[in-house]
Amino acid sequence: MAITGLPGGRAASVPLMGHETEPTMFELSVAGRSAAQLRTTGVPTRSLVDMVGAAHVKDEPVALSDLSERDLVGHFTRLSHRQFSVDLGAYPLGSCTMKYNPKFCDAVAADPALNGVHPGAPATLTQGWLELLVDLEEKLCAITGMAAATLQPAAGAAGELTGLLLMRAYHASRGEDRRRVIIPDSAHGTNPASVTLGGYEVTTVPSNERGLVDLEALRGALGPDVAGIMLTNPNTVGLFEEEITEIATAVHDAGGLLYYDGANLNAIVGVVRPGDMGFDIVHMNLHKTFATPHGGGGPGAGPVAVSARLADFLPGPKATRVADGTFDWVAPAQSIGRVHGWHGNAMVLARALAYIDVHGGDGLTRVAQHAVLNANWLRRRLADTLPAAYDRPCMHEAVLSATALKAATGVRGLDVAKALLDEGFHSPTVYFPLIVDEALMFEPTETESPQTLEALAQAVERIVARADTEADELHHSPHHTPVSRVDEARAARHLIATEDAAAR
């Protein structure tokens, strides 16, 4: 075919990333320097001891880092040059949906008419924000096929725990004490951690040889003490749970609820709705599907949408359209309470709504189609190099396995992932899901071009071709990144988590 791996698909500037070790801001500090410039207020000065009493005043101010503005800019700019990002190059990190983050959405969020609004200002003075939140809730409900949603949870894991507390409140309202939540063995680690914090016990069900939930095992695990099941669909192996209707029926027949982990919603947005699959509770990671930037590890947002029978339990107060067409904060009748200090990660919510509005219903469907197209193309393209863990059509992620490569050459999945960094690509997710040996989970996302995918495939081919003769070099890759492999064991053994612990 005509697609070639043109330059530019990879992060061509990787060899230029900062190789010099950067001093810390404390090492750059010179006592007496300062960059701060504060407003001239004309307010009379007063002594702190007068104001708060000597018992409370610190003898010496806390030593921070004293820098000129120029040095501050130099330091953080040099640090930024030691950092890979979506803007720099392809980031096929499976499970994380590292798609391009439209600059437009950042611009929307930078508007002081939105980001300069105090969260404690009354509803009458913040009608625009309340309307924005209501509009977003309605659109998220349309996307998920649910009746109502809370926008408070700050990330996916917070959404999961919120969902489990909703499950708990629902069962309690029916006078039922259910103790267990079922999770497939392929689930994200946040799922079992959230179940414990939700006050439930985890029951794990195995996957079958096709990488899907084993329906018979699930039926065997169900019982009157099961509160529900948490599922990711498509699952973390990148496959659609084709028996979802049978799963939903079995869980509902046992009186349980179905929780949808929205980590993989990008694969099905506009194609399948969790509500139509029988799910009762759905969390969405807006920083994945709706392209809000990941920020080096947050902020995200994890709204939770629910079916009608759970709507009264949602966290509150919620932005609500009231009778006269204005907006107010209203607590659902049997609300579980607040799950965030204010109203959720509002600026992330605004970015997601802007993304939804630009795409519209038609554009969101194309997002899923192209995400799945890219993943399947990459899976097929690499079939002879690194086979897929399950040889069948995948959704938005291609989970490949380096088992054969390792057996033949000793080169592991981790080595391939690290060597890709030298090739100018971010690594895929490695060793997850846990049920796949030597897993390499590629999620190209819909925003990478065919040329980038071809360049990525060629890079993987080059690495695998080197495995026979250059295994040792691959074990020690990457070689051209700002630092080489780091000693993680040393970091844990001699914990140095602050400059002061380093005691230079």
Kindly state the tokens that stand for 366.
Answer: 């194309």
Residue 92 touching another protein (CB under 8 A): no
Residue 229 touching another protein (CB under 8 A): no
Residue 134 touching another protein (CB under 8 A): no
Q: What count of other Cβ atoms lies within 10 Å of the Cβ of residue 450?
A: 18
Residue 462 touching another protein (CB under 8 A): no
Write down the least CB distance from residue 463 to another protein, Å: 15
State which of residues 4, 8, 12, 111 lies at the interface with another protein (CB under 8 A).
111
- Measured from the CB atom, the residue of 126 and 264 that comes closer to another protein is 126
Write down the least CB distance from residue 290 to another protein, Å: 12
Site for another protein in 431-450 (CB under 8 A): 432, 446-450
Residue 398 touching another protein (CB under 8 A): no
Map residue 242 onto helix, strand or coil: coil
Residue 84 touching another protein (CB under 8 A): yes
Pairing of strands 304-306, 148-150: antiparallel
- Measured from the CB atom, the residue of 116 and 175 that comes closer to another protein is 116
Closest CA to 423 of 468, 479, 467: 479
* CA pair distance 262, 282, nearest whole angstrom: 6
- Measured from the CB atom, the residue of 408 and 437 that comes closer to another protein is 437
Residue 174 touching another protein (CB under 8 A): no
Residue 94 touching another protein (CB under 8 A): no
Write down the least CB distance from residue 200 to another protein, Å: 8
Closest CA to 152 of 139, 163, 138, 141: 163
State residue 235 phi and psi, 5-degree precision: -80, 180
Residue 350 touching another protein (CB under 8 A): yes
Q: How many residues sit close enough to another protein to count as binding (CB under 8 A)?
A: 211
Residue 488 touching another protein (CB under 8 A): yes
Map residue 394 onto helix, strand or coil: coil
Residue 483 touching another protein (CB under 8 A): yes
Q: Are 303 and 284 in contact (CB under 8 A)?
A: yes
Residue 175 touching another protein (CB under 8 A): no
Site for another protein in 178-197 (CB under 8 A): 188-190, 192-197
Which string of x and - marks every residue 44-83 that binds another protein (by CB under 8 A)? xxx-x--xxx-xxxx--xxxxxxx-x--xx-xxx-xxxxx
Distance (Å) of CA 119 to CA 73, 273, 393:
31, 32, 46
Residue 471 touching another protein (CB under 8 A): no
* CA pair distance 182, 184, nearest whole angstrom: 7
Only segment of 128-136, 214-222, 383-391, 455-463 that touches another protein (CB under 8 A): 128-136
Map residue 192 onto helix, strand or coil: helix
Only segment of 219-227, 305-313, 400-408, 480-488 that touches another protein (CB under 8 A): 480-488
Write down the least CB distance from residue 434 to another protein, Å: 9
| Tally of residues, the chain | 504
State which of residues 148, 402, 411, 421 lies at the interface with another protein (CB under 8 A).
421
Q: What is the dihedral of CA 499, 501, 503, 504, to 10 degrees?
A: -40
Which string of x and - marks every residue 141-170 that binds another protein (by CB under 8 A)? -xx-x--------xxxxx-xx--xx--xx-
Strand ranges for 406-459 from DSSP E: 429-430, 439-442
Q: Are 67 and 25 in contact (CB under 8 A)?
A: yes
**Residues ≥6 apart with Cβ < 8 Å to 89:** 10, 11, 12, 14, 424, 425, 426
